[in-house]
Structure 1
Amino acid sequence: MGLKDNVISYGSALVVSLLLLLLLQEAEGCDMFTGRWVKDASYPLYDSSTCPFIRREFSCKKNGRPDLDYSTFRWQPQGCKLARFNGVAFLEKNKGKKIMFVGDSLSLNQWQSLTCLLHSSVPNSPYNLTTQGSISTFTFQEYGVEVKLDRNVYLVDIVREKTGRVLKLDSINDGKNWSEMDTLIFNTWHWWSRRGPTQPWDWIQIGSNVTKDMDRVAAFEIALGTWGKWVDTVVDTKKTKVFFQGISPSHYKGALWGEPTAKSCAGQKEPLLGTSYPGGLPAEVGVLKRALGKITKPVTLLDITMLSLLRKDGHPSAYGLGGQTGNDCSHWCLSGVPDAWNEILYNYMVV
């Protein structure tokens, strides 16, 4: 081999090395939670009207919402591109496994999104949907995949005693429902500020101290600490992947997104086109991140708050459970924003 060949060989190796370095830098610099929403003609990933088990409160199209642009946006992170959701690949990767969402109605929202995404990928594959107590199970029989939902609003326990219903901030007996899972996706916050007749507890207890009420954000943080200790002491993270869904925001104050005349999400037809939200992140996001930072075992935060804040157009508003008498700016239309949450989950679980 002559000098010229050596130079060519060295040059080729240098080019390959530089390309690999650039790819590595791109991968390391990929923040899946910072980016913008872009219009994509290939979206939505499924037609909600052909998802036979979708609940009425999320089925905005069936409920008569006339504009459908909310379902045609794709989440585009800065510096990289999410792998497109592939339901067959998801089912093959998780064959024989159990996946469980644990949380409130936002967990229900994401669970419904994932089951619709998967069913639309294998529409002729037999499935079974059962509910026992607080747990719903969607089974893809051909793959042996169970996608479960445990409706548990606070993660910590509510116990009925002689004095009434007691929210126990330092107790997680329901954790027995979460064992033997291969993937767990937790969520809580939506109900912590709830007051009045819909509040599902009468007393709050920490140790031997019982009180009628307390600062709700402080209670939220204590409960997260209890849950974090449960993860550290009970969960075998070599077997079970643990995710936390993050804080799903509401849109009831137009001034927060730069539209002071808007009193809610009603009539909103476009997302915010930038990468940041004028009103900033809600305080509970910081509380959650602080609590997660105290857990010694690996827990992945699906940090969906900012990307969801940008989607003032994605809520059911008058096209949810309450129909024209309601205005839901907390939950999300399907297809829609929770599909992006699940595309991010897919990039963690499959890609």
Structure 2
Amino acid sequence: MFVGDSLSMNQWESLACMIHSWVPNSKTSFIREGVLTSLTFQEYGVTLMLYRTPYLVDLVNDKVGRVLKIDSIRNGNAWKGMDMLVFNSWHWWTHTGRNQPWDYIQDGNKLYKDMNRMIAYYKGLTTWARWINYNVNPAQTKVFFVGISPSHYVGSDWNEPSSTCSSETEPFSGTRYPGGMPLAWVVVERVLRRMKKPVYWVDITMLSEYRKDAHPSVYSGLQKGKDCSHWCLPGLPDTWNLLLYTALFG
């Protein structure tokens, strides 16, 4: 089961296509119910599931409005008992204005109109880590966390201030990415290092930073403007899945 945001969906779609290419004549069934999507390769008893929850922690409708509860994971009941859990979260923590799907952040008994997003992410990810520690049996379930997926809206990150991903046709070719590692990467490293249960960090950040050319850009047809945060299929999500496969069986 993949658990996370639209980047988790990118990776889920990639793996579904990769498996289908290996067994193109296999009978499949597809089900989508609310936040849960599943694809089953019936002859092999293999089901790929996607649970859509951008923050991992709970986002609920309350009396005061839409509340992001950074200390609560009730949705986790749907994740129990899986053979594999592949988590991802960061992309939506930076959203503001009309793209922000919550009105308040709740931490314990306190409501906040806003909060430093890096602090909120750290608190939310710590809640997720606590959930893993209490609810996952490593003998039954292998847990992975796919690291921070970079965007390429700001050309100064690769020393081309006037550029975005829309004008890029080749990967970054230097020995060190000028933009450096995002601060969210440090948050992930700190949280995972303190966990009691084993979680494999699929650290895709640096290799993905180099692929400024690998986004749908203006050609996705799914939204207005340019998309420099999601990835073309096939493409980088295929590489993420190869790393996931290596971590699982290597």
Within the alignment, does 1:327 sit opposite 2:226 as a pair?
yes
Pairwise CA distance, 1:125: 0.6
Among candidates 272, 284, 292, match of residue 172 of structure 2? 272
Q: Which residue number in structure 2 is paired with residue 114 of structure 1?
A: 15
Among candidates 176, 194, 216, match of residue 117 of structure 2? 216
Q: Which residue number in structure 2 is paired with residue 260 of structure 1?
A: 161
Within the alignment, does 1:192 sit opposite 2:93 as a pair?
yes
Give the distance between the partners of 2:157 and 2:83, measured in 1 at CA: 39
Normalised to the residue count of structure 2, the TM-score between the two structures is: 0.97
Within the alignment, does 1:174 sit opposite 2:75 as a pair?
yes
Give the distance between the partners of 1:159 and 1:279, measured in 2 at CA: 35
Give the distance between the partners of 1:249 and 1:285, measured in 2 at CA: 10
Among candidates 235, 246, 252, match of residue 136 of structure 2? 235
Among candidates 169, 181, 191, match of residue 281 of structure 1? 181
Gaps of 5+ in 1: 1-99
Pairwise CA distance, 1:275: 4.4
Match of 1:291, SS state, is helix
Q: Is the 8 A contact 1:154 1:191 kept in 2?
A: yes
Within the alignment, does 1:299 sit opposite 2:209 as a pair?
no
Give the distance between the partners of 2:236 and 2:140, measured in 1 at CA: 29
One-letter amino acid matched to 1:248? S
Q: Which residue number in structure 1 is paired with residue 151 of structure 2?
A: 250
Q: Which residue number in structure 2 is paired with residue 95 of structure 1?
A: none
Pairwise CA distance, 1:303: 0.3
Give the distance between the partners of 1:168 and 1:233, measured in 2 at CA: 19
Pairwise CA distance, 1:234: 0.7
Distance 1:311 1:203, change over 3 A: same
Which structure 2 residues correspond to residues 116-195 of structure 1 after superposition, within 5 A?
Answer: 116-195=17-96
One-letter amino acid matched to 2:3? V
Within the alignment, does 1:290 sit opposite 2:190 as a pair?
yes
Give the distance between the partners of 2:171 and 2:59, measured in 1 at CA: 38
Give the distance between the partners of 2:155 and 2:87, measured in 1 at CA: 29
Give the distance between the partners of 1:306 and 1:350, measured in 2 at CA: 23
Which structure 2 residues correspond to residues 328-343 of structure 1 after superposition, within 5 A?
Answer: 328-343=227-242
One-letter amino acid matched to 1:300? Y
Give the distance between the partners of 1:274 and 1:299, measured in 2 at CA: 31
Output one character per residue of 1:288-340: Cα deviation in whole Å (capped at 9) or x when no partner.
Answer: 110111111100100000000000000000111347x4200000000101100
Output one character per residue of 1:164-210: Cα deviation in whole Å (capped at 9) or x when no partner.
Answer: 11111110000001011000000100011111122111111111111
Match of 1:112, SS state, is helix
* Count, aligned residues: 250
Give the distance between the partners of 1:246 and 1:112, measured in 2 at CA: 18
Q: Relative CO higher for 1 or 2, CA cutoff 8 Å, sep ≥ 6?
A: 1
Match of 1:331, SS state, is coil
Max Rg structure: 1
Give the distance between the partners of 1:313 and 1:124, measured in 2 at CA: 33
Give the distance between the partners of 2:237 and 2:64, measured in 1 at CA: 39
Q: Which residue number in structure 2 is paired with residue 316 of structure 1?
A: 216
Distance 1:146 1:275, change over 3 A: farther
Within the alignment, does 1:346 sit opposite 2:211 as a pair?
no
Q: Is the 8 A contact 1:129 1:139 kept in 2?
A: yes
RMSD: 1.1
